[in-house]
Amino acid sequence: MKTIRNWIAFVCCVLLFCSFKPAGETVTIILPKTPHGRVAFGAEKLVAALKQTGYQVTTVKQDNPSLQKRVIVISVWDDALFKATAGVFQINKQTKPGKEGFVLGAPGAAVKKKTSYAQFVGGADASGTLYGCLELADRIKTTGKLPDAITMIDQPEMVLRGACIGMQKPYYLPGRTVYEYPYTPEQFPWFYDKAHWISYLDSLVENRMNSLYLWSGHPFASLVKLKDYPYAVEVDDATFKKNEEVFRFLTKEADKRGIWVIQMFYNIIVSKPFAEKHNIKTQDRERPIVPLIADYTRKSIAAFVQKYPNVGLMVALGEAMEGVGNDDIEWFTKTIIPGVKDGLKLLGKTEEPPIVLRAHDTDAPAVMEAATPLYKNLYTEAKYNGEALTTYTPRGPWAELHRNLSRNGTVQIENVHILANLEPFRYGSADFIQKSVKAMHDVHHGNALHLYPQASFWDWPYAADSASPRLLQIERDWIWYKEWARYAWNCRRDRNQEVEYWGGLLADKFGTKQAQGKNILTAYEESGEIAPKLLRRVGITDGNRQTLTLGMFMNQLINPFRFGLFTLLYDSEGPEGEMLIEYAEKEWKKEKHIGETPVQVMNEVVAHGNKAVQAIEQATAGITKEKDEFLRIKNDMYCYRALANCFAEKSKASLWVLRYKYSRQLSDLDSALPYLRKSVEYYRELADLTKGTYRYANSMQTAQRKIPIGGDNGKNKTWVELLPFYEKELSHFERSIDSLKNPKPVAATVTKKPLLENADVTVLSEYAGNYTFAVGQMMFSDTMSVIKNYAPELANLKGYRFNKARQIAAGTTIRFSNAKPVKVLVGFFNKKGPWLLGAPELETNAAANDYGQAETKIANGVVITGFPAVNIHTYSFPAGTNTLTLAKGACMIIGFIDSDQVIKPYDAGLVPGVTKLELDWLFE
Ligand code: ADA
């Protein structure tokens, strides 16, 4: 790192303009006799820039050139051409730049006399030479002329600078589940479009990106055939051939541009035909490692490495495999690494291709410890701010994990994952992004970037705009890619110059003046603070379980724990500060506030929204190019303002409602009402602004989306669809206040919950007896803990007792048959502990809602001596014979109920020592 910075500090640039007119001037490009593909590609780009500017260009390939004419010598350090010419160009051979670096050199006096122009491009390696050519080409394009002389040395700061594409869809395919998308022309027509690839790869290289990640659950059955498992292939022969051809084309074209293709896959997923043949599930988190699947996976990897030796692999050890414990280590060290080594043996090679280990849903430091003695070329990767962009001041345990990986691995890659809080509006804050990249280095100690699309990850290559024909992400979100890439190359750039730089680019794009370009940048930077600040202060999760721009319900603001608050968001992914509930409590108790408060954030986001709108308005008059796109940016700024205002009003309403919890004064609820009304007005504005301009807010359109509301079957993805819910919430609140003011004989306050009744099931597997819900009952056969308190509606249920030690060692399985659909009530202890089973968590397990189990149905519903309080979730099963398999760890099987018994989610509040007033009924 330090060396890189020193090198960058070396960068020195002298730019003098030529006096002659380019038209008709001839320039000779001298290339090595047998140039590397990347060098030839760089030269092509340089030639194109020269021709575009009016030069006549001749290209020669020779290692010992005469330098009589106007020449540009292009070489790689230490090649014959370099040796023959470096001296003439006064290149100090000792000052070789680092990996991917380059030198642009001006001639010494002797050559200067003979030629009115000469220039030298020398790269530390082929990629460096390519980047040197691109640098020169950019300067020609900007000034319209060949610069007379440039001396410059430069190299990237981050060693990997990559973007990713999801081979995934917004919906599940019939009969399949998350991540399972075979590579076919029906699903991914763009994958077979070579022109699309070329323009994408060109945009990557233009941004000096050097890696491209393809994300898929199980790519192997679309790309390799195995002798032992011929039936595993899941595409027809013609498609298989096309896939081979496209993959080869892609890797070749990428390589030319200095881009390394990396195929990502999830574990343990098998192909659908493989699963059908063996009568197993395609993925099953609770399934232990079985020899058949291990063998199939190992052979798939070996065949892949053999066939595509220049493709790297990226592995998610979690998802579809339990996230912690020895299985991950076993799988990585005994299946994946051996698979890669087998492939190398088949190839007769010893040079190890890189393997990137994702820290997602696994104990990556432990896996690295076990794997490094076995394999040298390992990288690690972890999400920068979860599946969102929330801060450039990361901290806490998540930052510590990054530093740990950076200490112990080779290179730690910072993953800007799905931007669940930015979807779908445009994002272009150079300031936020530059600061984030600095934090990646300085706080996380990362030295590589893996960048997701700004929005619509699941809908590649399209953006969410309603525009027709559909907008392409790489075109719409050009500034997103450019900003990250520019700072991945070098984040230590002077801010004032950066404002000029981006202002200039924007002015150019929209055919306006520099001042207006800067206004557009201001609009991006002001709006760019809104979503990060909102999510980190009032959000439920950093995961794509929440779509922030669709808003939030009152209960999510005033009772976030009921919705499975993901605490990392608060302790790692933002500055220290307070949640609404904490702020309200402190206000009531007159305690000192700490750090960033929600009130402060709400004032700030409103100001950001106003400034963004003001800045974009100031830019409007001068726009002469790309007017439609400018109007879309403008609309996004108005959307952001409406969103910020809506959240601000709703937060004010929440604070009054939370005050009521302590004061019990109805006047506090009265005070909340106008704010809630105002928030609905702003939401209506947002719905109007997005009607006809956006197809959707979120691109993952499945039941995995939970906040503000379930996204089952592609529903609830637009603001127009959501508005009635918010209107209903408001009228419900109005009625609730009325009923409190005019109590009827039975006040419409907290209604008594109906008793839950046992469903008719026959349990076929072993368990250790039943218990009833009564104080003093034991729910584990090997532990003396007893029930201390429970939600009254559980009173009739028959619980199933298990041996806790066995649950911890082997998990919990219960097989049963039922004539009618049922739900199993499972209790999860609401604190994390090494031997406690964690509740289903969509942040780390995309299949965590397959049985409808993600949401807590009754929070704090049972209290047991010596244990944290219990949150109750339900798993739904159809009629028939079923098995519920839970991972290792202690949990409670509370009973079976008929599917049609509805449990309206709420917090029973049986937490010892906490004053509780149920407020949720006010809004739903
Ligand atoms: C979560 C998220 C998925 C995916 C995954 C991952 O499960 O819901 O959409 O992003 O993480 O691979 O990190």
Q: How crowded is residue 259: how many other Cβ atoms within 10 Å of its Cβ?
A: 23
Nearest atom, ligand 1, residue 316 CA: 12
**432, 467, 495 - which closes a domain:** 495
Burial class (CB in 10 A: 0-12, 13-18, 19+), 280: middle
CA-based nearest residue to 921, from 768, 724, 729: 729
Does residue 311 share a domain with residue 261? Answer: yes
Question: Does residue 364 fall inside a structural domain?
Answer: yes
φ/ψ of 260, rounded to 5, equals -100, 125
The answer, yes or no, to whether any atom of ligand 1 lies below 6 A from the CB of 543, is yes
pLDDT at 150: 82
Q: How is residue 319 annotated by DSSP?
A: S
Does residue 144 share a domain with residue 182? Answer: no
Question: Does residue 626 fall inside a structural domain?
Answer: no
Question: Does residue 568 fall inside a structural domain?
Answer: no
Does residue 164 share a domain with residue 81? Answer: no
Does residue 918 share a domain with residue 816? Answer: yes
Does residue 417 share a domain with residue 296? Answer: yes
pLDDT digits (tens, 9 = 90+) for 100-123: 999 998 777 666 666 667 889 999
**479, 495, 511 - which closes a domain:** 495
CATH number at residue 333: 3.20.20.80
Q: How crowded is residue 40: how many other Cβ atoms within 10 Å of its Cβ?
A: 20
CA-based nearest residue to 283, from 267, 295, 298, 260: 267
Question: Does residue 850 fall inside a structural domain?
Answer: yes
Nearest atom, ligand 1, residue 544 CA: 8
The answer, yes or no, to whether any atom of ligand 1 lies below 6 A from the CB of 217, is no
Does residue 146 share a domain with residue 165? Answer: no
Q: Retrieve residue 500's tokens.
A: 């000029």
The answer, yes or no, to whether any atom of ligand 1 lies below 6 A from the CB of 106, is no
φ/ψ of 306, rounded to 5, equals -65, -40
Does residue 333 share a domain with residue 187? Answer: yes
Name the packing angle between helices 194-206 and 126-143 (round to 10°): 80
Q: Total domain count for the chain? A: 3
225: left (phi over 0), alpha (psi -120 to 50) or beta: beta
Question: Does residue 661 fall inside a structural domain?
Answer: no
Q: Assess contact for 55 and 22: CB atoms under 8 A.
A: yes
Q: Retrieve residue 327's tokens.
A: 């299985």
Q: Identify the band that residue 288 occupies on the pLDDT scale cut at 50, 70 and 90.
A: confident
pLDDT digits (tens, 9 = 90+) for 143-185: 998 887 788 999 999 999 999 999 999 999 999 999 999 999 9
Choosing from 360, 419, 699 the residue with most ligand 1 atoms within 8 A of its CB, the one to mutate for a pocket test is 360
CA-based nearest residue to 209, from 492, 406, 493, 486: 486
As a whole number of angstroms, the distance between CA 453 and CA 153 comes to: 31
Q: How crowded is residue 883: how many other Cβ atoms within 10 Å of its Cβ?
A: 12
pLDDT at 129: 98
**154, 188, 223 - which closes a domain:** 154
Average pLDDT across the chain, whole number: 93
603-610 average pLDDT score: 98
The answer, yes or no, to whether any atom of ligand 1 lies below 6 A from the CB of 842, is yes
The answer, yes or no, to whether any atom of ligand 1 lies below 6 A from the CB of 525, is no
Give the Å distance between the CA of 316 and the centre of ligand 1.
Answer: 10
Domain that holds residue 68: 21-154
Question: Does residue 375 fall inside a structural domain?
Answer: yes
- CA atoms in the 13 A half-sphere facing the CB of 352: 15
The answer, yes or no, to whether any atom of ligand 1 lies below 6 A from the CB of 907, is no
Does residue 185 share a domain with residue 111? Answer: no
Does residue 134 share a domain with residue 169? Answer: no
Question: Does residue 500 fall inside a structural domain?
Answer: no
Does residue 201 share a domain with residue 122? Answer: no
Give the Å distance between the CA of 335 and the centre of ligand 1.
Answer: 23
Q: Identify the band that residue 497 occupies on the pLDDT scale cut at 50, 70 and 90.
A: very high
Does residue 129 share a domain with residue 171? Answer: no
Q: How is residue 840 annotated by DSSP?
A: P
Q: Identify the band that residue 922 occupies on the pLDDT scale cut at 50, 70 and 90.
A: very high
Does residue 304 share a domain with residue 205? Answer: yes
Q: Taking 90 as the threshold, does the pLDDT of residue 272 lie above it?
A: yes
CATH number at residue 120: 3.30.379.10
Question: Does residue 138 fall inside a structural domain?
Answer: yes
Q: What is the 3-state secondary structure of 469-487?
A: CCCEHHHHCHHHHHHHHHH
The answer, yes or no, to whether any atom of ligand 1 lies below 6 A from the CB of 361, is no
